[in-house]
Structure 1
Amino acid sequence: MRTFRLALAGSVATLLMLGSAMAGDIVFRSPDDAMKQGISAFNGGYYELALPAFEALETSKPQIARFYMARIYGDNEGAYTDHGKAFRLYKSLADDLQDVDPDDDSLAPIAAKSLTAVSTYLRNGVANAGVKPDVEAANRALQRAALTFNDEDAQFELAKVFLRGEGPDISVAGFEDPSSKIANGRHWLSRLSQAGHPGAQAFLADLMWRGKFVEKNPTAALNLIDVAVANAPPSERVWIEDIYQNIFCNAGEGVRQQATGRVAEWHNLYGRSPAARDDKDGLDNLAAEPVRTCSNGELVRPMGVATPTPATQVITSTPSVSPQRNAVIPAATSLQPAAASQSAPALSSSAPMLGFGAGEPTAR
């Protein structure tokens, strides 16, 4: 799992000033050194090096220190998993930053991510911390992260909550309206997918493939999941590629040909520019991801990569005019805070479009 552990650990360790190796004391020249050490070790998965750095950073940059420590304790795959500690740290951050300016580029993201994490913990409870489920508080925290801080990950979580028939109550004439929750869930997925959020794109592609909550559309599903894979950060690639593999391997040749004919259009509409990489060590030249194959041995490949034997059929379905950004994924209503009497943004009754036709069943 840690193929380059020795090399990376050696690089990270150069940022440390060790007092006594036997005593395990770690001294940093400055808070900036502690932050560089902590974040570098955290990104590499070396929590044993990251935690001392963040502990040393608590006095000078407490929000950053507590946020990263909460992420370490909340990682189920790490050696320091302690969800009780993670919850308490996230909760303290959410409380301390409740009045932070949503335009504060340094603290607003921490507040939003902390609120989202608190919502998840409160929805399910934290047994080892004696925290019982509190769905109403979970809904409030998630709504604040999604609406006040306009956090995309919080909006994605809100979409999934709505599609489960949960989330903030939406009342019509005094009665809860489950169909409105489904509509709001689709609203968020549509909006986020158009904006290029890879998680929402993958989730919506899976729904399109299965015909659940939306109209079944295998070709659109294949195109959208192809874009999601290209947009996905390393931390999200595994589950998104799992969906891609399932759709790609089960798509017939006709579906693949139709998707190939529009792959460039979809990437142009819904793609995001990849983050720049610094390949000083030359590691990008190595295969960093597993090779995936279908059950018949066929290589799972991006739609923009030609097969060894190109198909002879000419696809002529690509429109000759420049596409609009909402031409394929239905346009979502503009994001507006809910009114005082309504705890979730309403979805306007716009004309039915692909995947979101009026009168479609809410589950399948």
Structure 2
Amino acid sequence: MRIRDALGGLALFGLGVLCATSAILPRVAFALDAKTLDKNATPLEAFRFGFNAYKQGDKTVAVEALTYAAEKGHAGAQWKLGRMYAEGDGLAKDDVKAFEMFSEVADAHADDNPNGSSARFVSNAFVALGLYYRDGIPNSTVKPDFNRSRQMFAYAASYFGDSDAQLNLARMYYEGQGGERDPKQAVRWAKLAANKGNVGAQALLGHMLFEGEGVSREPVLGLMFLTVARDRSDADDPWIQDMQEQAFSLATETERRTALALADDWLNKNGKPNP
């Protein structure tokens, strides 16, 4: 498998022995009767059934159906259960179990078609693993490991073209986490993500362009990207507003006017992200 070739094997995921999905979650096949889901349902049918139940607010049924599909190796079901564990959404919050579910996805589906239906689940699982390796999980065997974190992001960024992975990889290169600091590589990956409309990447790229780090200094273009990112960000991203305000205070009046006009033009053409 590609993940084993590129990242050095299953042991990379750091679990020692990965728990099988059936060991992580209670077996629920007995509950899949005529009132819920046919016992002969395919993994895809079970996933769709569970996801619809989730959207309708019936998270108990959702967990049952998703677990059924996950035990049969459905990447989307494994991913969704991982998200539910990570967020404490319909299941007790448990980052270790979330980590295990994302590891199941990454190990079994790393070679999936990057343009296929499962790609978004698999790439996001790699991103989630990258974040867990970056920060660690308190009171667990999952310790901060910048090298593995960078590898997770690099795989999702390159093979799946995931913009969140590209942003996180750019930040690790920029900050020198998991290896030497490399602003040029940070610019490269930030550009790829920014071109896909990733807000954080637009802010990082704008900052590097304004400061001339890893790229020739272009204060107008940098302030434009920072302004676009500020206007597209939400309250959870105060660092974006801080960087935009700092650049704005240092720019000349001409640079400000030009950058703001370019930002307005970009926003009029592309709009803000969907809520």
What per-residue deviation string (whole Å, max 9, x for no partner) do you get for residues 81-126 of structure 1?
Answer: 321111111101111112211121x211111111122122234433
**Within 2, Cα distance between the matches of 1:160 and 1:250?**
19
Which runs of no fewer than 5 residues in structure 2 stay unpaired? 1-34, 38-44
Mapping of 1:327-346 within 5 angstroms? none
Match of 1:243 in 2: 240
TM-superposed CA distance for 1:51, in Å, is 5.9
Counterpart for residue 200 of structure 2: 199
Q: Using a 3 Å threshold, how does the CA distance of structure 1 residues 83 and 204 change in structure 2: closer, same or farther?
A: same
CA RMSD of aligned residues (A): 3.8
**Taking structure 1 as reference, are residues 152 and 163 closer, same or farther at Cα in structure 2, changes over 3 Å only?**
same
* 2:225 matched residue in structure 1: 224
- Show the counterpart of 1:293: none
Using the size of structure 1 for normalisation, the TM-score is 0.51
- Equivalent AA in structure 2 for residue 247 of structure 1: Q
| Residue of structure 2 equivalent to 1:34 | 50
Residue in structure 2 matched with residue 121 of structure 1 by the alignment: 132
TM-superposed CA distance for 1:137, in Å, is 3.6
Partner of 2:152: 141
Deviations 1:31-79 (A, max 9, x none): 44531232465xxxxxxx5465133223236422321222232238999
Aligned to 1:73: 85
Give the corresponding residue for 2:189. Answer: 188
Which stretch shifts more, 131-140 or 198-207? 131-140
Counterpart among 83, 97, 102 of residue 90 in structure 1: 102
Aligned mates of 1:148, 1:230 — CA distance in 2: 30
Partner secondary structure for residue 199 of structure 1: helix
Whose RCO is larger (CA < 8 A, sep 6+)? 1
Choose which of 64, 73, 79 in structure 2 pairs with 1:55.
64
| 8 Å contact kept, 1:218–1:255 | no
Q: Please give the per-residue CA displacement for 1:220-239, whole angstroms capped at 9, x wherever unaligned.
A: 4442222124545xxxx224
Q: Aligned partner of 1:272: which letter?
A: N
* Deviation for aligned residue 1:272: 3.5
Paired AA for residue 160 in structure 1: R
Deviation at 1:185, TM superposition (A): 1.0
Question: Any unmatched runs of 5+ in structure 1?
Answer: 1-26, 42-48, 170-177, 278-364
Q: Residues 199-256 of structure 1, C-alpha deviation per residue, up to 9 Å, x if partnerless?
A: 1012233455667666776654442222124545xxxx22445522663488459756
1:318-363 per-position Cα deviation (integer Å, ceiling 9, x unaligned): xxxxxxxxxxxxxxxxxxxxxxxxxxxxxxxxxxxxxxxxxxxxxx
Match of 2:11 in 1: none
Q: How many residues align?
A: 229
Q: Given residue 270 of structure 2, which amino acid in structure 1 is its aligned partner?
A: R
Contact 1:202/1:240, CA 8 A, preserved across alignment: no
Residue aligned with 1:60, SS? helix
Alignment partner of 1:272 is 2:270: yes
SS where residue 111 of structure 2 aligns?
coil
Contact (CA 8 Å) 1:222, 1:244: kept in 2 or not? no
Give the partner amino acid of 1:161.
M
Match of 1:103 among 103, 115, 130: 115
- Which residue identity lines up with residue 85 of structure 2 in the other structure? Y
* Compared CA separation, residues 145 and 252, structure 1 to 2 (3 A): closer
**Inter-partner Cα distance in structure 2 for 1:69 and 1:80:** 11
Verify the 8 A CA contact 1:35 1:57 in the aligned structure 2.
yes
Question: In structure 1, how many angstroms separate the alpha carbons of the residues matched to 2:94 and 2:177?
Answer: 27
